[in-house]
Amino acid sequence: MQNRTKILLQTVQNRILILDGAMGTMIQRYKLDEEDFRTPALANHPKPLKGNNDLLSLSRPEIIKAIHREYLEAGADIIETNTFSGTSIAQEDYGLSSLAYQINFESAKLAREVAEEFTLANPSKPRFVAGAMGPTNRTASISPDVNDPGYRAITFDQLGEAYSEQVRGLLDGGADLLLVETIFDTLNAKAALYAIQEVYEERNIPLDPQEGGIPIMVSGTITDASGRTLSGQTTEAFLISVSHVPLFSVGLNCALGAKELRPYLKVLAQNAPFYVSAYPNAGLPNEFGAYDQGANEMADQVRDFLKEGMLNILGGCCGTTPDHIRALAKMADEFQPRKIVEELEEEGSDV
């Protein structure tokens, strides 16, 4: 693990790393039914399970591995585990909280196996696994009841406990990084970061990747043209509120397309003492909720980020496919990665 961290830290200095695209978009192409989501042990489970994509790591692992392979073939350096809703909190809707650890462990194991296949086939292009940690379906900062603004459906401690279980499963399964993503409420993200710190401490894992720790990525979500997260933070406030942890990267994903994301990414690029990531949606959804932006159009919009030296890690979120990742990977080869703020300041001091 320490060796893979060292290789990752060397690689990110030399080129822009490519993250994969949407897992859900790819799963939809398989047109699965209820039975596909049921393992033999869940044959008589009383609740409907269709749509619980994380469960496919147990019931249809070959599909998840095939999707990982498609993204790696398209040029991805980092693939995300199929664990966006892998906490016991999110799994509670399906009555499957007890499977949270197993879902994370098996999802990380599947991704690790495929990443190893590609690394062995081409050692000059090592592949990495990011353990995906989604925001859960509850928020610690906002009341779900408009008539009771002080009410909270979840506590910080409950979030921390659920995230700790997820972290253990992801690490045990072989994740190289942990990615706290699609953050709409930074208090939820703080619970995730607290959980990561707790697990690292109990396992004697350094927090700082420069000291051999398992790198931590954080990615927030600006929900609309207001330039704020759902819980009301500006991009700069979001950055400040997660900077107490020695992160590998900070970035933005989801909700917006590349064009709309640009001004908020610029804030991170100018201020973050970490590497910067972006994985926008394939444009904005149409009236049916689908994403129409093609791979080349998305790449053209992202080109501006790269010309301005804003990014170190680039991928795709909702609506993106291996075609999008292929176009982004090809284009990223033309540009140098962003230098982090500390490096820029050091260069400036020599002038």
CATH number at residue 306: 3.20.20.330
pLDDT value at position 346?
A: 52
Q: Is 97 exposed, middle or buried (0-12, 13-18, 19+ CB in 10 A)?
A: middle
Residue 179 has pLDDT above 80, yes or no: yes
* pLDDT tens readout for residues 98-131: 999 999 999 999 999 999 999 999 999 999 999 9
Q: How is residue 249 written in tokens?
A: 């990267």
* Spatial CA neighbour of 186 closest among 128, 252, 130, 271: 252
Average pLDDT, the chain: 93
Tell me the pLDDT band of 344, cut-offs 50, 70 and 90: very low
CA 91 – CA 85 distance, rounded (Å): 7
Residue 280 has pLDDT above 80, yes or no: yes
pLDDT value at position 343?
A: 52
Number of structural domains (the chain) is: 1
Tell me the pLDDT band of 264, cut-offs 50, 70 and 90: very high
* In the block, residue with structure tokens 């290789």: 7
Which stretch of 4-13, 71-80, 142-151, 258-267 has the lowest confidence by average pLDDT? 142-151
pLDDT value at position 342?
A: 63
Q: Which residue has the higher pLDDT, 93 or 139?
A: 93
Angle separating helix axes 100-121 and 156-173, nearest 10 degrees: 40
Q: How is residue 206 written in tokens?
A: 């350094």
DSSP string, 9-49: HHHHHHS-EEB---HHHHHHTT---GGGG--GGGTT-SS--
Phi first, then psi: what are they for 264, rounded to 5°?
Answer: -80, -35
Compute how many other C-beta atoms are within 10 angstroms of the C-beta atom of residue 346. Answer: 10
Tell me the pLDDT band of 202, cut-offs 50, 70 and 90: very high
Q: Which residue has the higher pLDDT, 204 or 351?
A: 204
* pLDDT tens readout for residues 283-331: 988 888 889 999 999 999 999 999 999 999 999 999 999 999 999 999 9
DSSP 339: P
Q: What is the mean pLDDT of residues 325-341?
A: 94
Which stretch of 1-5, 71-75, 217-221 has the lowest confidence by average pLDDT? 1-5
254 is in an annotated binding site: yes
Q: Which residue has the higher pLDDT, 140 or 95?
A: 95
> What is the reported pTM?
0.94
DSSP string, 218-263: EEE---STT-B-TTS-BHHHHHHHHTTS--SEEEEEEEEEHHHHHH
317 is in an annotated binding site: yes
Residue 88's alpha-carbon distances to 42, 71, 95, 294, 344, in angstroms, are 17, 28, 9, 35, 42
* pLDDT tens readout for residues 230-254: 888 999 999 999 999 999 999 999 9
Residue 350 has pLDDT above 70, yes or no: no
Residues in the chain: 351
pLDDT value at position 223?
A: 87
Phi first, then psi: what are they for 114, rounded to 5°?
Answer: -70, -40
Q: What is the mean pLDDT of residues 265-293?
A: 93
**DSSP strand pairing (17-18 vs 78-80):** unpaired
Tell me the pLDDT band of 349, cut-offs 50, 70 and 90: very low
CA 68-159-161 angle, 5° bins: 90
Residue 2 has pLDDT above 80, yes or no: no
pLDDT value at position 85?
A: 97
Domain range for 290? 2-349
Amino acid found at 176:
D
Amino acid found at 17:
L
CA 313 – CA 292 distance, rounded (Å): 23
